[in-house]
Amino acid sequence: MKVVRPLLLAGTAILLVGITVVIVDHVNEQKYNALTKENQQLMNKNEKLKTEKKYLISQPSDFKQKSGFFVWPKMEKTADHFVKESEGNFKKAWALYLVRESKRYHINPNIVFELLNVESGGTFNPKLVGPKTKYGHAYGMSQFMENTAPWIADMGGLPYKKDLLFDPYYSIELSFIYLDYLHDKYGNWDEALTAYNRGVAGLKEYKAENGHAKSGYAKTIQNNAADDTAVAVAN
């Protein structure tokens, strides 16, 4: 019995050591897992901050300087003016979209609104089909033809199919793309607007006949846009 007792004590000690090792390993594993999780969270947060920084750097400088809280009321006021001017035909959602896109393209929103007004005959009907010409019909609020709309859409990275010409947002977007292209090409609204109305070849013919690009179409849109600006300033 004297021999057995020390053996039992030794066995118990070994067992306790083993249990202690297991407990310590378990605790260490928990700590390791917690640290690993915390490290992953920090890495994710850091990656998010990098992404946000990259996004902000890619934005125009005025985007970083002015938040929507400051610019939105003015944008909504302009949109409300367009809705009122159209007697409700130009929907508020369309107007807000137009004003928003005008910031992206750095184009006076009044120019685009008045262009749509003239092109649609004051109806702002997105389902409008223009009269038949030797080039075919013009479609939608901004009255694009099937021979010009595809390459303008492609230039702006947009998909194209004929049905999209009747989508008011698509129609507005095509107007911005084409006006941006024409104004960049000619550097002034007389030529840009006359080319929008008559085509590039038609602009050349008009200038050859008249010695200038101040067509009635261009003057109407610019004069009405100036009136819109005057009203906005007065209010």
Q: Which tens digit of pLDDT belongs to each residue from 12-36?
A: 555 554 555 445 456 566 666 766 6
> What pLDDT score does 14 carry?
57
Q: Which helix (H) or strand (E) holds 128?
A: none
* Distance of alpha carbon 27 from alpha carbon 207, whole angstroms: 86
Q: What distances in angstroms separate CA 138 from CA 45, 65, 92, 128, 149, one per listed residue?
A: 51, 41, 24, 8, 10
Q: What pLDDT score was predicted for residue 227?
A: 83
pLDDT band of residue 133 (cuts 50, 70, 90) is confident
| Nearest Cα to Cα of residue 111 among 195, 182, 176 | 176
Q: What is the CA radius of gyration of the chain?
A: 33
189 in Cβ contact with 222 (< 8 Å) = yes
Encoding tokens for residue 206? 């008009």
Higher-pLDDT residue of 3 and 100 is 100
| Continuous segment of H or E residues that includes residue 223 | helix 216-234
CB 135 within 8 Å of CB 145: yes
Q: What is the pTM of this model?
A: 0.70
Which residue blocks in 2-67 are alpha helix, DSSP H?
4-58, 61-65
Instruction: Look at residues 142, 138, 199 and name the one whose alpha carbon lies nearest to residue 175.
Output: 142
The CATH class of 66-234 is mainly alpha
> How many Cα atoms are found within 13 Å in the side-chain-facing hemisphere of 27?
6
| Inter-residue contact 102 to 109 (CB < 8 Å) | yes
Domain boundaries, the chain: 4-58, 66-234
Cα–Cα distance between 129 and 60 in angstroms, integer? 37
Of the candidates 86, 101, 119, 128, the residue with the CA atom closest to the CA atom of residue 193: 119
pLDDT at 52: 42
